[in-house]
Structure formats: structure tokens, C-alpha cells
């Protein structure tokens, strides 16, 4: 019995050693950042997947220095509002879950919390709409066409944003 344990332990160590050495000496893939893909996977297209916009056609690429500052200022204001709303939403969702899990949940309190959460989602959507309107006011007519095309494409749900900064 003791010999069987020793043999089985030796086999486990041998298999582990082979697996570890294979992993250690394998050529690792270099880490890829946002928008980088193995050659040929997406070519020069922006983001993850084909979005229909080459980097040269994006509205952000044609901004002047003054426009870039204005966009950054508008974005900062939007992010502050959005983060505050998201924090309130998170708290409201926890409170909602707490109401639901009480021994005798109150329908009126739950319904009020649902209304509160709905108002926060509306507030978040209004802040995003205000931000997009601010951006449109900063842009020239040609830039606005590119911005609107991108906005409509994303609104239709045909193309995703990928990951990272949008606008």
C-alpha cells in the first residue's frame, strides 16, 4: 500500500513537471493593447470588429486643438455626472435587493424604489443626450456628418462600440 502511494505520487510529480516545463518553454504571445489584433484579423479597422470606419474617417481625427479642448471639457463634465448617477444607481439597486429580501416585503416600498431606479436611468440617459448635443455644437458641418453617421450606426444596434473610450 505504501509503495502504491509512492508510485502514484511519483507519477503525479512527473506529469506535473512535464506540463510545467512545456508551459514554461513555450513561446508566449506578446500582450496586445486596445485595438491591436494579430496580423490579418481586422486589418486597420478601429476597435474590436468591423465598425465601418477607418481611422481616417472618424470624426475625432479631424478636430482642431481648440475643438479637442472643448470636447475634453464636455467629456469631463459628462463623466462627473455619469459617475455620480452610477453611484446612486448602485446604492438604489442594493436598497431594492434589501427590500425584496425582507421577511415581509412591502409592495409600496418596492414600487417606490423601482420608480427611483427608473428616474436614475432616465437622468443618466438625459446626461448622455446633453453631452452628445454639446459635442455636435463643437463640430463643423463635415465633422457633424461623421459624428451623426457613427451615432446612427450604433443606435441601430448593427455595430458595437468595442471596448474603450467612445466619445
pLDDT in tens, 24-49: 555 555 454 445 444 444 444 344 44
462600440: which residue's cell? 161
pLDDT reported for residue 7: 59
pLDDT (tens digit per residue) in 74-117: 999 999 999 999 999 999 999 999 999 999 999 999 999 999 99
Cα separations in angstroms, 5 against 8, 33, 108: 5, 47, 64
Mean pLDDT of the chain, nearest integer:
77
Specify the 3-state DSSP secondary structure of 159: coil
pLDDT > 90? residue 65:
yes
Pick the CATH number of 64-138 from 3.30.479.10, 3.60.20.10, 1.20.120.1490, 1.10.260.40: 1.20.120.1490
Instruction: Give 154's contacts (C-beta < 8 A, 6+ positions apart).
Output: 160, 161
- Of the pLDDT bands very low, low, confident and very high (cuts 50, 70, 90), residue 10 is low
The alpha-carbon radius of gyration of the chain (Å, integer) is 26
C-alpha to C-alpha distance for 111 and 115, rounded to whole angstroms: 6
pLDDT reported for residue 155: 83
Cα separations in angstroms, 69 against 10, 63, 147: 65, 9, 17
CA atoms within 13 A on the CB side of 154: 12
Q: Kindly report the pTM of this predicted structure.
A: 0.59
For the chain, the domains span: 64-138
Kindly state the average pLDDT of the residues 141-159: 85
Task: Name the grid cell of 123.
Answer: 437622468
C-alpha to C-alpha distance for 107 and 39, rounded to whole angstroms: 56
Amino acid at each position: 500500500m505504501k509503495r502504491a502511494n509512492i508510485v502514484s505520487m511519483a507519477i503525479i510529480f512527473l506529469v506535473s513537471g512535464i506540463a510545467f516545463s512545456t508551459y514554461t518553454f513555450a513561446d508566449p504571445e506578446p500582450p496586445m493593447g486596445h485595438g491591436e489584433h494579430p496580423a490579418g484579423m481586422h486589418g486597420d479597422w478601429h476597435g474590436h470588429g468591423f465598425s465601418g470606419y477607418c481611422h481616417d474617417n472618424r470624426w475625432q481625427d479631424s478636430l482642431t486643438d481648440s475643438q479637442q479642448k472643448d470636447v475634453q471639457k464636455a467629456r469631463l463634465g459628462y463623466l462627473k455626472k455619469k459617475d455620480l448617477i452610477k453611484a446612486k444607481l448602485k446604492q438604489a439597486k442594493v436598497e431594492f435587493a434589501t427590500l425584496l429580501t425582507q421577511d415581509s416585503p412591502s409592495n409600496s416600498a418596492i414600487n417606490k424604489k423601482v420608480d427611483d431606479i427608473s428616474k436614475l436611468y432616465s437622468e443618466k440617459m438625459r446626461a448622455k443626450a446633453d453631452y452628445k448635443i454639446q459635442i455636435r455644437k463643437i463640430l463643423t458641418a463635415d465633422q457633424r456628418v461623421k459624428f451623426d453617421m457613427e451615432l446612427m450606426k450604433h443606435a441601430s444596434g448593427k455595430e458595437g462600440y468595442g471596448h474603450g473610450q467612445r466619445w
